[in-house]
Amino acid sequence: MTRRRALLLATPALLAAPGVLRAQSLTIRQDDFVAPGWTRGVLIRWGDRVTFDAPPWTPQQPTAEAAGAQFGWDARMVAVVTPGPQSDGVPRALLVVAHPTVNAAMAFPGGRDVPAIAGAMQGVSIVNLERRGRNWEVVDGGFQNRRLTATTLCRMGADGGPVAGIAGVTGGCATPWGTLLLAEGGAAEWRQRLPGLDANAVGMLVEVDPSDPSFVPVKHAATGRFGPVDAAAALSEDGRAVVWMTDGRPGGYLYRFVSDGTAGIGALDAGRMAAAWIEGGNLRWVTLPQGNPMAAARDAGATAFDGAAGLAYEARRKRLCVAIRGGAGRVLDIRMAAGNAAADTAIAEVLVEGREAPVQPTRRNEAPAAVPAWPWAPATLGFDGDGALLIGTDRGARPGALPEAFYRVPAEGGAPALMVATPVGAAAGGAAVAPDGTVLAAIAHPGATPGASWAQPATRWPNMQPDEPPRSTIVTLAR
């Protein structure tokens, strides 16, 4: 039932739906639903401590100082970074989560925006994790725990001057050369919302050393200022940095940057941008001149996509997967020529076709019918330790009978299998894998349906307390 065929067009018509699906059936509900065979735990939630000096969470009386030390309002998984073997034998990892948005109606009592506090609620959280017994836990006061927000000091280029603010991070990745890349895909909203933000210093890739809390983040103008939604990284055969980026706007493109020099801090300050041209399952990278990447890609005849979103690269099988949200959505599987990430050509195939599940009319007081679980509008991607693709969905405001959910597609192929469905109003904000194979998944902004508010959310997940707003949460999924 999962299709794998040549990509014929940039936005092909959906295949005719196959017969009855043998899949878990779902309805939209206030709680999450965990598929059989998985055990779900809670790791960290909006308002939980990140830094050692974070005060207790008081959602009725938020402050910028507190928000800048606590886990942010939204949640988009960036990476789980595994350090080398530890002398004490305790499994450890670094969790990196982005907080792209802050919905004032859901984040603030009364629903009135407070930009300074919102700027502290967004950004990025980096936290130390340890496995204690059978569970992963956040290390309270971990020395690498920190928040990156709208006031974080950065530098423009590896050798450039200071600029302030990290804003609208919608994705990113860990790199093979030991850094993090953060994609400021939601920067446009924050340019308007935060008057003190330097509009010329956001909307780029930001590079961070996750192991060094004193490291000053580096903003890379050479990879474009178009606000990439997500990024994935690899090494070329000769050791150069290769970075893929998606432009999530309607008619946006899939880009690739190849550094001029050997991968490392500063390598992304100089290199060549290219955009993907796809026809009949064949992909070719079209080199772009310096300047506006979107205009250059359009002029070069590159392939435009309807809502290009999440990216994930698996080094073992040398495959790049791209999520396309437009329509019912689909996931592309791209294999580079000779396995070289910097090759000029590749093969592009459709790995998974999305399938819509419209809301069916029901009689008064009749519960909506359950529908088969299947990815609709795949938005986030990751790989687990077995090379299986992890897909998270996000339709945005589009109505439908399916909750957003995480699915797993085996490396050897097969139908997407449900892992966990999110509560009403939430999005599946990405997943990554811990060293022992535990999946860490971001369930973002539960309860945030159209018209919902801080006082009247669509759910109060995960704690279901009548006096507590719903909270974005990182959950653990173990088999």
CATH number belonging to domain 5-478: 2.120.10.30
Q: Which pLDDT score, from 0 to 100, does residue 23 have?
A: 67
Amino acid at 47: G
Q: Which pLDDT score, from 0 to 100, does residue 398 have?
A: 92
Average pLDDT for the chain: 93
Tell me if 241 sits within 8 A of 175, measured CB to CB: yes
- Using pLDDT thresholds of 50, 70 and 90, give the confidence band for residue 22: low
Query: What's the average model confidence in pLDDT over 48-77?
Result: 98
Query: What's the average model confidence in pLDDT over 307-329?
Result: 97
As given in the structure block, the two tokens for residue 389 are 């693709």
Q: Which pLDDT score, from 0 to 100, does residue 19 have?
A: 37
pLDDT tens digits along 240-286: 999 999 999 999 999 999 999 999 999 999 999 999 999 999 999 99
- Residue 168's nearest CA partner among 121, 218, 122 is 122
Query: What's the average model confidence in pLDDT over 414-430?
Result: 97
Residue 380: is its pLDDT beyond 70?
A: yes
Sign of the C-alpha dihedral computed for residues 222, 226, 227 and 229 taken in this order:
negative
Looking up tokens 């020395």 gives 143
Cα 257 to Cα 180, 223, 238: the distances in Å are 16, 6, 15
Q: Which pLDDT score, from 0 to 100, does residue 367 have?
A: 77
Residue 35's contacts (CB-CB under 8 Å, 6 or more residues apart) are 24, 417, 418, 419, 420, 421
pLDDT tens digits along 286-305: 999 999 999 999 999 999 99
Dihedral over alpha carbons 417, 420, 423, 429 (to 10 degrees) = -90
Residue 16: is its pLDDT beyond 60?
A: no
- Residue 471's nearest CA partner among 448, 440, 439, 441 is 448
- Using pLDDT thresholds of 50, 70 and 90, give the confidence band for residue 4: very low
Rg value, the chain, Cα: 21
Query: What's the average model confidence in pLDDT over 56-80?
Result: 98
How far apart CA 225 and CA 201 sit, in angstroms, is 9
How far apart CA 305 and CA 12 sit, in angstroms, is 10
Query: What's the average model confidence in pLDDT over 457-479?
Result: 97
Tell me if 125 sits within 8 A of 144, measured CB to CB: no
Cα 15 to Cα 170, 301, 384, 453, 465: the distances in Å are 30, 26, 28, 39, 44
Residue 3: is its pLDDT beyond 50?
A: no
pLDDT tens digits along 168-214: 999 999 999 999 999 999 999 999 999 889 889 999 999 999 999 99
Q: Which pLDDT score, from 0 to 100, does residue 122 have?
A: 98
How far apart CA 149 and CA 206 sit, in angstroms, is 12
pLDDT tens digits along 141-152: 999 999 999 999
Tell me if 403 sits within 8 A of 28, measured CB to CB: yes
Residues in the chain: 479
Query: What's the average model confidence in pLDDT over 101-124?
Result: 98
Looking up tokens 């041209």 gives 277
Q: Which pLDDT score, from 0 to 100, does residue 361 have?
A: 81
Q: Which pLDDT score, from 0 to 100, does residue 98 have?
A: 98
Domain assignments of the chain as residue spans, ordered by start: 5-478
Q: Which pLDDT score, from 0 to 100, does residue 364 have?
A: 77
